[in-house]
Structure formats: C-alpha cells, structure tokens
Structure 1
C-alpha cells in the first residue's frame, strides 16, 4: 500500500520521518509506503516560508532547499527593506526570515539604524509604508539646522527635509533663524559723568553667521543683551549730559564698533546700532526747557535789532541820496503823491487853478523852505 502526495507547480513539499526533517520535494507525484510514518508539509511558494512548529534553523542545512529560499537575517541594530520583484512590500525588524525565491524574486536592503540618517538606497516613495519607523525634520530656507545624535552635535544642516530611522539613537534637530534680528533695550538707567541719571532706549540689529559657534553660548540673547548693556554704561559714564545730547549719533557708532569686536566669539554679525530715545528726569527736563526758551528769546532779540538797524541804515542812505539829487527827491514826492491819490475818492478844487497847479503849490512849499 502507498500514500500518494501531489505537489503542484506553485508548491513545495517538506518531508519528515518520525518528526525529523529529511528533504524538500519538488512539484510532481510522490508515493510513500503506508506503513511508514513519513509526513509531508506542503508549502505555497507565493507565501513566506513558515513551517508549523519548526524553527527555521532546522532547514538551513539543506543545500537544495537553500537554493530556492531567500533568507533575511536581521540584527538588533538593523532594519531590512523587503522587495518582491522590485516592489517594496514590508520592513523587517530583528529576526530571521525566509521566503520562497521561486516564482517571485525577493531582494533586501539592509540599513544600520545606529547611523540613522536615510541613505540614497531608501527611496522616499516608500515612506507611507514606513509609518512609525522614521521621523522627519525640516529646515526652512531662512534657517540653519544643527543635528544631534544622543545630545551630541554631529553637523550643520542646510535648508531641506531630512529623514532618520527611529531606533536606539536619539535624533534631534535644533533650528536657528538666520534672518536679521533686532534686540531692543528699553528704559535702561545710566548715570552720566556729571551724576545725571537718565534712561536710554537703544536698539541694535544682528544676524547669526556661525550657527555652531552661537550654540556654544548658553542663553545667547541674554548674553548679547548684557554685553550691550555693559558697553553703553562704559561709554555714557564718561560723558557729561550736554556732551551726550550733542553726541547722540556717535554713541551708536561706538557701541557697534565694540560689539563687532566680540562678534566672532558669538558667531554673529552686528549690522547697526543706535539710540532711539534719551529720557531725562522731570527736573532736568524743566531746566533744559527754560534754558532753551531763554536762548531762543535772545536769538529773536538779536534778529529784531539786526533788522531795525538795517532798516534805519537804508532810510539814512535814501535821505542822503535825495539831499544830493533834487530830481530823485522830486520823483520820490511824485511817488508818494501817487499813493495818496489812490486812496482819495473825491477831489474838490477851489480857486481858479487846475488840479496839477494846486498839487504843485503843495509841493512848492518844500522847495521854498529849502
């Protein structure tokens, strides 16, 4: 008596004697004695190689079987990308996997997650199928990124998207804004050389040019603020109030120069600096207003006297010319006569003289007296 086993073209058989694996069977008809305890496990080659209740190591010694299997041995520090006929199907984590490499071609790409950044072998088109196994960081066009592995700086990242495997290595990206930034110092109380306490509103613009250097400074903006504060105190403390008000523009130039002396150690470029406002105490402000008002009144008096002097000098020059030139005097008389006539609405004549003769008689008095 015989037992007949039929294995189809898309199948393979695994022969066991008394529970021990013997060999694998190719497609066809296989007969076995009914009196033996031979058993056959039939496997579909379109599915993963997974014999029930048997470890994969049991079959690895069969060289004939190994020629028809694709084995993926994934270590603890690895992920394996599994492709079938060139198409991605799954990600394999730590373990050993076997697939029938008969009717379909199985290939694998191994990635070391101890170096978590994606390599060129990993196509971004498969990302939707890798959900939960990677993380993405984006650096904007106006930013610089600093890459950390386990809190240790690795390198600077240029603008773009970056992908990393999740695993034993902790990945973080810190971004820094490279655009021009502004630091405002408001209401800073400073004492001048002549012991006047005033408040300054100061502003400076800067931008980060060395991201790695700026990250070496804890509380970067606070330290830049303190540096600016110290420079202002140093400069203003050497000036009297009047000098400070007069040299307002020079304060910004001095501070900018001193800031740029420190710019390399901070990894920044200071672009501009200047005083926005100088706020004086109320009593000092009243005194300055009084002084200013007195100065303006004095200037107004000087201008008034200057104009009066010029007007008198002009009249004297005119009188002298008219004394020396009778014709000029006569013309001036006619000019005033014309102005008088413009304001007269009605002229009455007395006597037999005409208008011109009577007007001439008025003017002849000046000639007779002269």
Structure 2
C-alpha cells in the first residue's frame, strides 16, 4: 500500500533517497511505496531553512531550492543583523544561514566587528534586542572623552552615549573633566633671601582646553603642582622677609603670569592664583610682634605728646586773650562759677547782704588782689 504525504501551502518538501537529498517538492499530495528507500521531510517556509544533521551545502546543488532561499554567510569577524519585512529579527553570529523568501522578504546588514563602533545603519531602537553583544560608554556634558582600541588612541569624543561591539578589539575610554578645577598647595616650606624659612598656603584655578594633550602627560596634576612649587621658590627666594611681607600682594600676579606661559605645554588655561596664608616660624613671629608692639607704643606716645603740646598752646593763647580783654576774663570767671555751682548742693549765707552782693564782693576782691600783685 502506498504511503500518502500531503504538503500544505506555506510548506515545502525535501525528498531524500538513500539518505541523500534529491530535490524540493511544492505543496501537493505525494505517494511513496513502503519499499522505496526514500523519505520526504516537510519544512515550514515561515521558519529558517534548517535540517537536523544536514549541512546547508548539501542542498545548494538544487537550483529550484536556491531560488526560494536567501542564503547568508557570516564571517568570523562579522555580525549580521537580520530583518524580516523591514523589522529586526535577530543577530547572526559566524556561520551559514538560509531563510525562505516565500512568505517574507529578508534583508541583512553586515557589520565588521574589527571596527567596534556600531555603524549608523544600526537603529538604536533595536539595541535592547542585542543585549550581550555590545557595551555602552558615556561622556558627560562637562567632560571630554578619548577613545582607545587595544590601548591605541583613536579620537576625541564629545559628550554623549556611544555603543561598541564586543569583539576582538578591547575598547576603553578615558575622560577629562572640563570644569574649572582648583589646585591647593598647603604648608609648603620656602626660604627667603635672608634664610628665613616660612610656610606658604597657595591656590590656583585652571580649566582644561586640550584633553588629548592632558592625557599625553603622565601624572598631570602632579606636574602642575611641581611647576607651581618651582615658580614660588624662585619668587620667595629673591626677597628678604621684610620686603616679601610688604609686597605679598604681588606674589599671585607673578605666579599667574608664569603659569600662563606654560598653558600651551600643559593644554590648560590658568584662570587665577592667590596666597591664602604666609605662616612664619614661632620665634620670628614673636620678634615681629615685639617690633610691632614697640612701634605702636611709640606712635601712641607721639600722639600723646602732640596733644599735650596743642593743649598747652591753647591754654597760653587763652591766657593772653584774657590779659588783654577784661570782659573775656569776666566771662571766664562766670563760666567757672557756673561749673562750681553745678557741684554745690546747698548755699549758706552769713551777714545781712544778699547772695549776689557776696559773690560780687568775692570776685571783686579776688580780681583786686590779682591786679595789685
């Protein structure tokens, strides 16, 4: 009895004789003798073309089959993005693949993973479906990034997100902060021209202008710190302590000007610089405090003498005026009398004369005594 096999629409049959592929069968009904050494495998054209235990090349001699297949070869250095009817279907790793073009239209995007950066043809929308095949690097808005493949510098990256294939090339990113930065020098010992050792706290602000140049310098911040040290030692060593303290406001301007001469070398722009503190040794500080105290006492004595001289001169001028003008003398007496009266709580009278007569007598007698003398 013949064996009946029906191939429905959307499917195809693969005829094998004695284990070898012969040809493709279209939809329809086929009968096989139970004694025939042949077999028909029915496959779904909605699925990728794949036969268990059979290599794809065993079917490529059938021209009829080849016309209904889209065959893609993925090399070892490639990934292939597979699209069905314009929609992303999946990523193909190295190997050979075949897809039926009966029900769907297939398209492929080949990417060379030896160039790790994802090409523009890859829509970011499909990235969630590529998890595990790529990694993301991000450069913040205040940063500049420098891209390396296998530790070889490639290019500078602007702020943004970047995607790279996981492949033979090791991708790394170095970032440089473009914001204003501050370098503090704390407790740095310096020696003046007259061999006085002092400690200096200094600060400067700068911004990176050439990230590639900065990364080309080993221990960048340390080298700027050393450069700042040398400039300060040069300046401090050229002044005696008294001159240095008198002109300390000029230190910042000198240092900033010298640092700005090095901007091209370091790839930065020095914005400002300033002295925070000058710390003297304890014995020098005590001596300076003693000198300062003596100067202030001398100034105070000078002011006191000047005021005493002015007061004496004023008294002498007043006395001359009073000698020359009896009315003025009389007014001065009344002024003193007013002041005396302010201090008197009560007044006792003796004799029969009035208070005014007694006061006139007192002042008149005193005036007469002074005239006779």
Decide: shared fold, TM above 0.5: yes
User: Hey, what's the Cα distance between the residues in 2 that align with 1:62 and 1:288?
Assistant: 106
Give 1:226 deviation, angstroms. 0.8
- Post-superposition Cα deviations, 1:1-47, rounded to whole Å, max 9, x if no partner, equal 75432111121111223333222111112345566433221111122
Residues 1-370 of structure 1: matches in 2 within 5 Å? 2-32=2-32, 36-368=36-368, 369-370=370-371
CA distance in 1, matches of 2:80, 2:361: 130
Query: What is the alpha-carbon distance in structure 2 between the residues aligned to residue 73 and residue 82 of structure 1?
Result: 12
CA deviations on 1:280-336 (whole Å, 9 max, x unpaired) are: 222222211211111111111111111111111222222222222222222222122
C-alpha displacement of 1:157: 1.2
Moved more, 257-266 or 323-332: 323-332
Taking only aligned residues, the RMSD between alpha carbons, in angstroms, comes to: 1.7
Q: After the TM superposition, which of the residue ranges 345-354 and 161-170 deviates more from structure 2?
A: 345-354
Q: TM-score, normalised by structure 2?
A: 0.94
Distance 2:238 2:281 in 1: 19
**Mapped partners of 2:236, 2:33: distance in 1:** 110
Listed as ranges, the gaps of 5+ residues in structure 2 are none
**Cα shift at 1:265:** 0.9
Deviation at 1:238, TM superposition (A): 0.9
> Structure 2: how far apart are the matches of 1:80 and 1:321?
118
State the distance in 2 between where 1:92 and 1:261 align: 56
Cα distance between partner residues in 2 of 1:353 and 1:68: 153
The Cα of 1:214 is off from its aligned counterpart by: 0.6
TM-score under structure 1 normalisation?
Answer: 0.95
> Aligned partners of 1:142 and 1:65: how far apart in 2?
58
How big is the shift at 1:59? 2.0
SS in 2 for 1:168: coil
Separation in structure 2 between the aligned mates of residue 100 and residue 150 of structure 1, nearest angstrom: 40
How many angstroms apart in 2 are the aligned matches of 1:333 and 1:67? 139
Distance in 2 between residues matched to 1:149 and 1:50, nearest whole Å: 37
Distance 1:324 1:214 in 2: 89
For 1:223 and 1:299, how far apart are their aligned partners in 2?
Answer: 49
**Bigger mean CA offset, 29-38 vs 18-27:** 29-38
Displacement, 1:250? 0.8
1:211 positional shift: 0.3
Distance 1:8 1:201 in 2: 89
SS in 2 for 1:323: helix
